[in-house]
Structure 1
């Protein structure tokens, strides 16, 4: 019942199982980056989000997307959790798609608000991305970086049957790896809706998929 409801409102992620070819390719890319300075020189034909999901699934890493490509250390900042609770922390996720959105969405172009999420239910991911109408007029896309942290330094904060895939660290964190991304790496680019700035959050959720189907 819950899975059907989520699928009606949001876009479900694809199966995260990896082919033998992907596993071999991603393992080589990972080893090269670890032996180097941590910057991933990505030349693989497979999408970058698949590589990020591989790192989260097989290497116990978490992702954080940013417009800033030169962050040496992340420090805790006052932010809000999925439930609106304030916390001073470094945020990350175990998803490979959600952080790319944060990396390529140019926050300097933000007008009023934006809404997005990666829900998890029964090991299945569901996504939604919505920007204010004013923001969408700004062509709000750029290049960015996805930083990867060891999972052991973070705690998962989501609880319940349906959760946001949020992880937090209340201590400063340095990335193990870095992967440059651009707008072409964000596979849900054409599934980003726009909403009135003063619209209730719940209404944006209910209308999200309907709005993207019209684009």
Structure 2
């Protein structure tokens, strides 16, 4: 029942299967990373696939940021997905969620924004929603996704439903970083817009309907333009 509800309300992500050619290319790239250096990415595969492969190796977690020059992450006081306070470095094993934080320009934020990657069994569900005031400011930029060593991180939640959220109470130095722009964000056309003072429940209930309406409007605009 819970999985059905999540499927109805949120965007269920497709499972990723890597080809042998991809695996060879990704492994070669991973062997070249180190000391937090910028990764030279000249592969024809989307960057989110490489990042997802990196986390599948169980050695890395990801952190997206607008700041391209972070040499060490320090634990900071902030809230977990359940609004409980903690002092930690945050990361995820989901590439699309990390990419969102790389390209969303937080300096343009007015009020609130809502997003998440929820794990239920072997399935993942995403949602991305910005309020009207923020969306009017074209809140997108270039950024970086950092690859962090996973050894000091623990999953922040427990139970049958969890956010793909990992925390480290110790400082963490990145082992690599990948430049990201909006074209790398595969969910860019699935970002909904909610009212400034809207409740979280309403945002969830209307998320898929809003992205569907947005897609239909885009199709009409493209037809008119052509």
TM-score range, shorter chain: over 0.9
| 1:10-29 equivalent positions in 2, closer than 5 A | 10-29=10-29
Q: Kindly indicate whether the alpha-carbon contact (under 8 Å) linking 1:130 and 1:195 is maintained by their aligned counterparts in 2.
A: yes
Secondary structure of 2:183's counterpart equals: helix
TM-score by length of 2: 0.92
CA distance in 2, matches of 1:37, 1:65: 14
| 1:111-190 equivalent positions in 2, closer than 5 A | 111-190=110-189
Gaps (5+ residues) in structure 1? none
Q: Kindly indicate whether the alpha-carbon contact (under 8 Å) linking 1:30 and 1:40 is maintained by their aligned counterparts in 2.
A: no
Secondary structure of 2:64's counterpart equals: strand
CA distance in 2, matches of 1:96, 1:123: 16
Secondary structure of 1:153's counterpart equals: coil
After superposition, the C-alpha distances for 1:21-78 in whole angstroms (9 at most, x for unaligned) are 11011111112224x8632100111111110010100152000000000011111111
Q: Kindly indicate whether the alpha-carbon contact (under 8 Å) linking 1:33 and 1:40 is maintained by their aligned counterparts in 2.
A: yes
**C-alpha distance 44-206 of structure 1, shift in aligned 2 (>3 A):** same
| 1:22-61 equivalent positions in 2, closer than 5 A | 22-34=22-34, 38-61=37-60
How big is the shift at 1:17? 2.3
Gaps (5+ residues) in structure 2? 215-226
How big is the shift at 1:16? 2.2
CA distance in 2, matches of 1:37, 1:151: 14
How big is the shift at 1:90? 0.4
Secondary structure of 2:6's counterpart equals: helix
How big is the shift at 1:142? 0.3
Q: Kindly indicate whether the alpha-carbon contact (under 8 Å) linking 1:157 and 1:168 is maintained by their aligned counterparts in 2.
A: yes
Q: CA RMSD in A?
A: 1.1
CA distance in 2, matches of 1:32, 1:177: 9
CA distance in 2, matches of 1:11, 1:47: 20
Q: Kindly indicate whether the alpha-carbon contact (under 8 Å) linking 2:66 and 2:142 is maintained by their aligned counterparts in 1.
A: yes
Give the equivalent residue in structure 1 for 2:195.
Answer: 196
Q: Which runs of 4+ in 1 moved over 4 A?
A: none
Q: Choose 1 or 2 for highest CA Rg.
A: 2
The alignment of Structure 1 onto Structure 2 pairs a total of residues equal to 214
TM-score by length of 1: 0.96
**C-alpha distance 210-37 of structure 1, shift in aligned 2 (>3 A):** closer
